[in-house]
A and B are shown apart, each in its own frame.
Chain A
Amino acid sequence: MTPVENPEISEYRRREESITLSSIPEQLAEAGELTHELLTLNFGPHHPATHGVLRLLVTLQGELVRDVKPIIGYVHTGIEKTAEDKAYWKVIPVIERMDYLAYYFNSMAFIGAVETLLEAEVPRRAQYLRVIHLELNRIMSHLVWLGTSALDLGAISMFWYCFREREQILDLFEMSSGQRMHTRYFQVGGVIEDIPTGFAAKLSAFLDVMPGRVDEYGALLNRNEIVLQRLRGTCPLDAETLLALGVTGPLLRAAGNPWDLRKATPYSSYGDFDFKIPVGTVGDNYDRFAVRMAEMRESVKIIRQALDGLPEGPHMTSDRKIALPPRHELATSMEALIHHFKLVTEGFRVPPGEVYYPIEGPRGELGCFVRSDGSSKPARVHMRDSSFVNLQATAPMVEGSYIADMIATLAMLDPVLGGIDR
């Protein structure tokens, strides 16, 4: 469909019309399959079922989806550009705002890359504290996914139950860092503060409750005829196609490939913990749902082990070139004052080089590429966001299925637009 040359329309409208939908109509006409007129439906950017400001141009033949084109960029805020203008430690708050449901993961990927460049040692206690917060974040992200996905399938009450447990996790985040979201808790060289008194008890109480809650969600959904019909057997995609499209995380594991960076290349002491990787069999929407449900239980197990085995020791590296000196030293030690001044004003310098640091986020491989030119600001920060790559699997998944299944598939894809657009 080439746009008709019309001098009346603006350059912007002309380019917008230049978005070619596909060559689907011609192909179908050639094959003699075109029995219905094709309808192009603009779905989003403001639509409750697109989980953010995602716009889909859907080509429909009756109720069958023939083609989907995702159009993104509506919440692009230029965080990568902003990061180039900030000292390394000031990048952490902005980078956490990329994927707003996985803020600990974003900062972990960035900090891991910077620590690799600096060759900084992270104390074991800090690594364990990081694991506790990362896994709490994973449960939190999956709870938001479960609540909103159930909402898309018509199960409104699930949303309230999921957000009830999410609130408990956010309270824990508030306790350890003072913030419920975008906590800035991870710092280069460790974590900003040790966990306060009472955190362990509160976390432990949550860990006791959570597996039972997952059972309750299962009781509501696993035998629910509507949920099963919407999920079982709909929009499967095999592992090989997923790998070619770069899809990782629960979507890949649902198709039977047990790839998980926590096991494959353990970072931040993940090798110390005993946990299983849930996998699916056929890779349909039900497997995607079941894998994430099982992952919440595994995360609880990891947090329990990390909490019980939490080593004593410092929560921050002792290298004063990258870590702020303890507050009490500032009044007595000239050296500490100098370090403090230097770190707060200029920040630390990082040796020149390029590093890619991938971790397992809630939606798959979350990697941060950092290039340093030797100054105190990064020369390039690029986040390989899992949602951005996974979104490419939308079209192959839903082609040929019903439009209602597309909604369910989009929910099971779990895209977070803040991460996609950055």
Chain B
Amino acid sequence: MPDATGLELIGQDLGEAVLETVFFRNQATLIIDPASNRSVLAALRARGYSFMSSVHGVDYYPEEPRLGVIYELLDMSRVDRISVKLRLHTDAPQLASVVPDLPGDRGWATANHQEREVYDMFGVIFEGHPDLRRILMPEDYEGHPQRRDFPLGGEPVIFTVTESDSMGST
């Protein structure tokens, strides 16, 4: 982990894109502007954080902006981790995908499944993702089940007698 000072330095180097730095329980987090997610991740890769271990989606309901996307980066040679966090409004959940390779900016192939999961569960739309479809829920599912205001339970169960009423019937 970069210590609190190291995190501040990284934050200063990245300039405007970094809104805030949080050092909590020995874990360093950069809170960034959603528009610059690709450039911040590229800058951190240049600093050695070249392994993306995870992408998490979070719903901060009732706080605004509600949706959060967190990238966990890892520097394997210095054994150092840093999290990059950004927040999005539910009425504009568009975010640039970090998967595709752009000219002069290598993508993060590992985020493919993970961005699809965040899209599936929270409805964050990753623009430029090569195959943005639901991954865990059925293709015809409506809503994003991990959002905090999505009710638990109440899922209709398809039996033979009710099959003709359900969406999947032909």
Contact = CB atoms under 8 A, between A and B. Distances in A.
Given A15-B139, A85-B152, A245-B109, A354 B24 contact: yes
B152 A380 contact: no
A142 to B, nearest CB: 22
Given A82-B152, A369-B54, A12 B139 contact: yes
Interface string B93-123: 0000000000000001111111001000100
Contacts of A73: 134-138
Contact of A382 (B56, B79, B110, B138): B56
Contacts of B81: 356
Nearest to B152: A85
A392 B24 CA distance: 32
Given A12-B167, A356-B72, A380 B59 contact: yes
Contact of B146 (A81, A259, A389): A81
Contact of A392 (B110, B121, B136): B110
B25 interface: yes
A20 B113 CA distance: 16
A292 B161 CA distance: 49
B121 to A, nearest CB: 8
A72 interface: yes
A368 B136 CA distance: 18
Contact of A367 (B72, B137, B152): B72
Interface in A207-265: 243-248, 259, 264-265
Given A356-B27, A367-B54, A369-B56, A72 B135 contact: yes
Contacts of A312: none
A389 B27 contact: no
Where chain A touches its partner, the secondary structure class is mixed
Nearest to B170: A10
A389 B113 contact: yes
Contacts of A247: 110
A9 interface: yes
B132 interface: no
Interface stretch (B3-11, B12-20, B32-40, B45-53): B45-53
A11 B140 contact: yes
Nearest to A422: B136
A355 B135 CA distance: 25
A12 B140 contact: yes
Nearest to B168: A12
Interface in B54-110: 54, 56-59, 70, 72, 76, 79, 81, 83, 108-110
Nearest to A364: B53
Nearest to A9: B170
A379 B25 CA distance: 18
A384 interface: yes
B169 interface: yes
B2 interface: no
Interface residues of B, number: 46
A313 B1 CA distance: 31
A384 B53 contact: yes
A117 B139 contact: no
B112 to A, nearest CB: 6
B53 A367 contact: yes
Interface string A291-318: 0000000000000000000000000000
A76 B25 CA distance: 32
Nearest to A82: B152
B56 A392 contact: no
Interface in A27-82: 72-73, 76, 78, 80-82
Contact of B27 (A10, A15, A72, A355): A355
B136 A355 contact: no
A10 B169 contact: yes
Contacts of B52: 246
Contacts of B54: 356, 367, 369, 382, 384, 389
A265 B133 CA distance: 35
A353 interface: yes
A264 B114 CA distance: 24
A350 to B, nearest CB: 12
Interface in B115-170: 117, 121, 131, 133-140, 145-146, 148, 150, 152, 167-170
Interface string A6-19: 00011111011001
Interface in A407-422: 421-422
Nearest to A257: B76
Nearest to B1: A265
A174 interface: no
Contact of A13 (B70, B148, B170): B170
Nearest to A391: B113
Given A10-B168, A246-B52, A358-B53, 6 more contacts: A12-B138, A80-B121, A81-B145, A355-B27, A367-B53, A369-B72
Interface of A: 9-13, 15-16, 19-20, 72-73, 76, 78, 80-82, 84-85, 116-117, 119, 243-248, 259, 264-265, 353-356, 358, 365, 367, 369, 371, 379-380, 382, 384, 388-389, 391-392, 421-422
5 contacts: A12-B140, A19-B133, A73-B138, A244-B110, A365-B53
